[in-house]
Amino acid sequence: VLMKKKEDAAKTIQRKFRVHSTRKNYLRTLRAIRFFQNIWRARVEYKAFQNMRKKAVVIQKNYKCHRQYKRAQLQKVSVVKMQSIVRMFQCRRRYLHEIDSAETINRMVRGGLARRHVSKLKFIRSLVDDVIDRSWFRLIYQLQMDAAVVVQKYVRGFLAKSRNYAIVLKARKARQEYAENKAARHVQKNFRGHLVRKRLQKLHESAYKIQGFFLSKSLSAYFQQMRLATRIIQRCARSFITRKSIIRERQNEYLAREKMILDNIKILERNQLFAGWDDPTQLDMICNNLD
């Protein structure tokens, strides 16, 4: 009977050792599986992070392009305003130059009239000096000669005008038409410039509206793509988190079940091994050694 008990005890010890070695191998395998799972999950997370980083770079690039476009639009508006100010300054300068020219011409005309009046006064003074210095008859003769010259001058002028009156009228009419045509050309030039500037402004406004429409379309399409990509990423992340939680719960349930099975097996083996022992101290000592 004692030999049989020793054999049973040896078999139980061997079975316990096999269970211990099997459990040790299982735990080692479980640690290796967890290690590889962590590496794989880290790789998947890294790839997801790289994809999100690329998408963030694309978003930043488009946002910077949009900001540069807005800045270019503001600069263009500023340039147009500066051009209008420069043109206004040039027109004002040209107008002031014309006013200065007109004042110069008026001043020259008034100077000529004044010099002519002074020359007449000088002539009268010379006549008075001649009256004082020369004799009366010589003065009368000189006056008569001068009067004859003046009369001849006016007569010749009248005859020339009467003979060439049509030419004089044509010349006056041509001069008046030239002045009118010059003024009309100036008015037409300014009016055409106004029409061209107005048309260019309308074309610029139309171009701005078209560009804004296409830009809004492209941004809307890009926003829709980004929104769809965000939804896909969120769905993948939620599914990954759900799968992870389910796997963890299953793993915990499996480990708890295995632990319960091992505890039950341990209890059964202990009961079978030490069923005939009466001394509880020896039974506890052997159980501690087996543990």
CA-to-CA separations, 213 to 54, 103, 206, 210, 287, in angstroms, rounded: 28, 55, 10, 5, 85
CA-to-CA separations, 205 to 44, 104, 201, in angstroms, rounded: 51, 45, 6
> In the predicted model, what is the mean pLDDT of the chain?
79
Q: Which helix (H) or strand (E) holds 39?
A: helix 2-133
CA-to-CA separations, 27 to 24, 31, 33, 232, in angstroms, rounded: 5, 6, 10, 37
Task: List pLDDT tens digits, range 59-83.
Answer: 888 888 888 888 888 888 888 888 8
Q: 52 near 223, Cβ under 8 Å?
A: no
pLDDT given for residue 280 in this prediction: 46
Q: 253 near 10, Cβ under 8 Å?
A: no
pLDDT given for residue 130 in this prediction: 65
In this predicted structure, the answer to whether residue 277 has a pLDDT above a threshold of 80 is no
Task: List pLDDT tens digits, range 126-135.
Answer: 776 665 665 5
Listed range (43-57, 210-224, 241-255, 275-289) with the worst mean pLDDT: 275-289
In this predicted structure, the answer to whether residue 267 has a pLDDT above a threshold of 60 is yes
DSSP sequence for 181-217 = HHHHHHHHHHHHHHHHHHHHHHHHHHHHHHHHHHHHH
77 — phi, psi (to 5°)?
-65, -40
Query: How far does Cα 23 stand from its chain's mean position?
Result: 66
pTM for this model (two decimals): 0.28
Average pLDDT over every residue of 264-275:
70
**Which tokens hold the place of 40?**
């794989």
Task: List pLDDT tens digits, range 168-196.
Answer: 677 777 788 888 888 888 888 888 888 88
